[in-house]
Structure 1
Amino acid sequence: MAGVLELDKPYHNLKGIIVSKGLKQNDIADKLGMDKSTLSVKLNRYKGRDFTFSEASKLAELLGIKMEDF
């Protein structure tokens, strides 16, 4: 169905972008000032956890992309 947001694979594009930039989740977590387990929880939206606007903005800047890209 066109235009429907799929949440079964949260941040799937973001994970691919991180890999394509040659980075590891540890690198990203360190730059965001969080531990890797917290980043993983947010990437997977475990129990509804998500990035804050500030974290998403900084993440987009670190990766050189727009927040809309993930």
Structure 2
Amino acid sequence: MGGALVLDKPYHNLKGIIVSKGLKQKDIAEKLDMDKSTLSMKLNRYRGRDFTFSEASKLAELLGVKMEDF
């Protein structure tokens, strides 16, 4: 029945979007006002870390994409 949302996978699309925009995780972290290591943990969903809705919304705006594209 397909389409199940898997929440334990890292944000591979998001990582690709960041690279395609010519940005570095350090740049994104600064714009989100968070430490680079925290951003990395959230991108990799390390120990269940994930973006808040507010962070994801701001991130989508910064990258010029929809949150669904992550």
CA distance in 2, matches of 1:9, 1:50: 11
Kindly report structure 1 stretches of 4+ aligned residues shifted beyond 4 Å. Answer: none
Q: How does 1:13-52 map to 2 (within 5 A)?
A: 13-52=13-52
Structure 1-normalised TM-score?
0.91
Aligned residues between the structures:
70
Give 1:10 shift.
Answer: 1.5
Corresponding residue of 1:5: 5
* Alpha-carbon distance, 1:3 to partner: 1.6
Q: Which runs of 5+ in 2 are unaligned?
A: none
Q: CA deviation at 1:7?
A: 4.6
TM-score, length basis structure 2: 0.91
In structure 1, stretches of 5+ residues that fail to align are none
For 2:55, the aligned partner's letter is E
Residues in 1 aligned to 2:8 and 2:16: alpha-carbon distance in whole angstroms: 16
